[in-house]
Amino acid sequence: MKVLVVGGGGREHALCWAIAASPLCEALYCAPGNAGIAKEATCVPIPAEDVEGLLAFARAEAIDFVVVGPEAPLVAGLIDRLSDAGIKAFGPSAAAAELEGSKGFMKDLCAANGIPTARYRRFTEPEAAKAFARELGAPVVVKADGLAAGKGVTVCPDLETAEGAIDEALVGGRFGAAGAEVVVEDFLDGEEVSFFALVDGTTALPLASAQDHKAAFDGDRGPNTGGMGAYSPAPIVTPELEARIMAEIVGPTAEALQAMGRPYRGVLFAGLMISPEGDPKVVEFNVRFGDPECEVLVTRLMSDLLPALVATAEGQLSHLTLRWLDSAAISVVVATKGYPGAYEKDSVIRGLDTAGADENVEIFHAGTASNEAGETLATGGRVLAVTATAPSLAEAQTKAYTAIDLLDWPEGFCRRDIGWRALGG
C-alpha cells in the first residue's frame, strides 16, 4: 500500500512512525513533513492546506491511502475531493468536520441531541452577546465560531474581559470571517481530558485515554498553547467513566451526524471537562488526533495502526480490536523560547541522537528542518515532542526528562512537570 500522510508536526511524525512500521506499508510519503519525518517517509513540499496540490500528487503517485493529520484540510474538503477521485482516505468529510470548523454547529448538535455541554448562545451582534455574558455571569467563555489557529477561545475571569473578547471578534474583526459569529458559554469547572475514538460512520471504538497540558509554564500557568505535553493513560478516565463517555457523548454524536446525512469517519477527539462530581461535559470536538496526545497514543499501541485507519475509512470497525501496552507513555514538548508569543527561528539543535538512544524514547519532530550541512534547525514554536514509555508514568517521566537533558539546544525550553496531575505532584 502506498500511503500519504498530510501535515508536518509532531502528530504527523508519530503517525508516520507507526505507519512506516506496518507490513502493509510499501511506500510512505508525507506532505510537507519535517526533518524528523524525513527519516520515516519521503517528504514532498506541498502545504497541508493545498487541497488541489495534494489531490494532484495523490493521483500522480497512485497513492492508495491518505491519512490527514490537521483540521484545516479536513474542514476545507480534502477528503471529499479525494473520495470523488476514488482515493481512499482517513478523516471526516467537510460536512462532518464542521464539528470542529464551527463551534456554533457543534453546540447546536449537542443541544438538539441531549449531549452534555456548557449552556450557550450564538451571536453576531455584540450588544446581545454582552447581555448574555452578563446573564451567565463571570467567569464566562467567548469563542470565535470558526477555526482561529487555537486562538479563538477566551476564558474570561470577569465581564470586562468578555466584553473585550466579544468586541475583538465581532467589531474589530480579529479572526476575520472565523469570528463573525461568536459562541458565549458558561465556564465549566473540573479536570480536562482528551478522549479519542475511531468512528466509521456507525461503529465507535475508544482509544486509550490521554491528557494534555495546555498552559505554557509549570503549574499550569501562563498563556494557552497547542499543548506542552501529554500522558497516557489518564487515571481519571476509569472504565466506568469511559463507558459513560461512549454512551452519553461519542455514540450520540456519531448517531446525530449519521442522521443528518453527514456520517463521521475518522478519529473523533472530544475535549471534555470532568466536573468535580465526575460528570463528563463536552468542551469542544476536534476532528483529528490531538498533538501531542497522538504521540503518547501511538507509542502505547501494540496493534498495527494502518489497518485500523483503513478499517475506519471503510466502515469495517466492528471487526477490529486494538491492543495497548500496559505501560505508560509521556510526551514532553520542547519549544523555542518565547512560544506561544514571538520567537527566533533556525537555531541549531544538537544531541538528538544521544537523547533518543534509549529504545523506549522517541523524539518526534514538530517544527524542524535540515540545513545543507545536515544540521537540524528549529523552525516552529513547538519543535520536539520527546516521548518515553515505561512500566509506570513516574518512570516514563524520568526517561523523557533524562533524554531532554541530553539535548544541546540553549534556545529551547520545556515544562518540567508534565504528568503532575496523575503523579499526585
> Footprint of ligand GLY on residues 206-225 (CB under 6 A)?
212
Binding at 155: pick from ligand AMP, ligand GLY, none (beta carbon under 5-8 Å per type): ligand AMP
By CB under 6 A, is residue 71 in contact with ligand AMP? no
Instruction: Kindly tell me the burial class for residue 387, based on how many C-beta atoms sit within 10 Å of its own C-beta (0-12, 13-18, 19 or more).
Output: buried
- Cβ neighbours of residue 86 closer than 8 Å, sequence gap 6 or more: none
By CB under 6 A, is residue 283 in contact with ligand AMP? yes
Chain-centre distance for alpha carbon 211? 11
Q: Which one of 293, 295, 304, 417 is in contact with ligand GLY (CB under 6 A)?
A: 293
Binding at 291: pick from ligand AMP, ligand GLY, none (beta carbon under 5-8 Å per type): ligand GLY
By CB under 6 A, is residue 51 in contact with ligand AMP? no
- The Cα diameter of the chain in Å comes to 60
By CB under 6 A, is residue 268 in contact with ligand AMP? no
Please identify, among the stretches 157-165, 286-294, 328-336, 371-379, the one whose residues bind ligand GLY according to the rule CB under 6 A: 286-294
Give CA–CA dist 142/83, Å, rounded: 36
Please identify, among the stretches 149-157, 196-204, 243-251, 331-339, the one whose residues bind ligand AMP according to the rule CB under 6 A: 149-157
46: helix, strand or coil = coil
By the 8 A CB rule, do 271 and 282 touch? yes
**DSSP-derived secondary structure for 343-368:** ----EEEB-HHHHT-STTEEEEESSE
Please identify, among the stretches 23-31, 140-148, 196-204, 290-298, the one whose residues bind ligand GLY according to the rule CB under 6 A: 290-298
By CB under 6 A, is residue 64 in contact with ligand AMP? no
- Identify the DSSP state of 250: I
Question: Which ranges of 210-357 would DSSP assign to H, the alpha helix?
Answer: 239-245, 251-259, 293-300, 305-314, 352-355
Binding at 212: pick from ligand AMP, ligand GLY, none (beta carbon under 5-8 Å per type): ligand GLY
By CB under 6 A, is residue 10 in contact with ligand GLY? no
By CB under 6 A, is residue 192 in contact with ligand AMP? yes
Chain residues in the site for ligand GLY (CB under 6 A): 212, 226-227, 286, 290-291, 293
